[in-house]
Amino acid sequence: MALIEEFGQYLRHERGQSEHTQKAYSTILNRFAYWTAEQQLTHWDDINLSHLLSYLSYRRASVEHFSDNPAKKRGRPRNESTRLSSESLYLEIAALRSFFRFCVQEQFLPSNPAENLTLPRRWKRLPKTMTDAEIQCLLRPIEPITPSTLCDHAILELCYASGLRLSELRNLRLEQLRLEAGFIQVIGKGNKERIVPVGRTAIEAIERYEQFGRKKLAKAGKSPSNLFLTSRGTAFAAGTLWGRIKKRCTLAGIDRKITPHMLRHSFATHLLEHGADLRVIQELLGHSSITTTETYTHVAGKRLKAVHQQYHPRG
């Protein structure tokens, strides 16, 4: 397990990977370590490509989930019979490849057994977005006005105005705001910094929250410098922040399932539909590859086709 911990430190300090990625890779590798122990493979350099393929075949048949329970503490994860999705399989292989590449790079292992382990082709999923009407309902201020509702409103306005990820919203700090200049500094995946402009409506919501909400939520000398604070004056946990957004969706009368990325997807799609350049959207979203951003052209294309069919005389 020591090598897995070393790898975690590498992801954190040298690769700048998100906490979510670190936890996901750690879970996968610990699960793999338990499997190797069951196969009487006592050393990492005993593992070869055939072992990796056998493990992945085993994973396709059943999925093991770690949880904080006595079974885990005794050294065996709890089993639940369910199929491994193609997306999960992709992540399993990516974690193994990255781990063994690190081990060879740092000379912990003489060779890389995962070198010829190929990643499966990923099916592109079209991002789901919210309609203009849903956005308008969601961004409508609600009564009564309290520090918490001001916080919620500022979160929603900023999320839709800037396309921030949930983790970027949670970690946004006061010193990253440049509201007088109309932008914020965002620390995204891999600790990459980008500049994101913010519209007047979102700026007004943030300033109103800072003046009448955050000052009351913050505990003197105890609260972090995060912009958004809970009613206890602490930074939001991921689940807590998403729970607040889901509650606002319910209050807005939106009765379909909303996912954490839908506001971000809506931001990008609505920009594209109104004529924004794809490269600009890539920069705003913090995508390292234009290929990721190009997904939104399919969504916008469907919208254009629907408008054409509805309004063209021969549509």
Whether 244 is a known active-site residue: answer no
Task: Report yes or no on whether pTM surpasses 0.75.
Answer: no
- Whether 97 sits among the annotated catalytic residues: the reply is no
Q: Binning pLDDT at 50, 70 and 90, where does residue 66 land?
A: very low
pLDDT of the residue at 123 = 58
Name the catalytic one among 101, 246, 261, 303: 261
Instruction: Kindly report, residue by residue over 79-136, the tens digit of the pLDDT.
Output: 443 456 777 888 999 999 999 999 999 999 999 999 998 887 765 666 788 888 999 9
Given 59, 214, 244, 264, which residue is catalytic?
A: 264
60 noted as active-site residue: no
Q: How many residues does the chain have?
A: 315
Structure token pair of residue 27: 């879970």
**Backbone phi and psi for residue 187, each to the nearest 5 degrees, phi listed first:** -100, 110
Residue 256 or 61, more confident: 256
Predicted local confidence at residue 259, as pLDDT: 81
- Domains of the chain listed by start with CATH number: 2-105 (1.10.150), 132-311 (1.10.443.10)
From the candidates 189, 194, 246, 303, which is the catalytic residue?
Answer: 189
For this structure, is 165 an active site residue? yes
What tokens were used for 181? 């200049």
Q: What distance in Å separates the CA atoms of residue 264 and residue 262, rounded to the nearest whole number?
A: 5
194 CB burial (10 A radius; 0-12, 13-18, 19+): middle
* CA of residue 174 relative to chain centroid, distance: 22
CA distance 114 to 49: 6
Q: Is 296 a catalytic residue?
A: yes
| Selected catalytic residue, list 165, 214, 265, 270 | 165
308 counts as catalytic:
no
The mean pLDDT value of the chain amounts to: 84
State the catalytic residue, choosing from 51, 194, 287, 303: 287
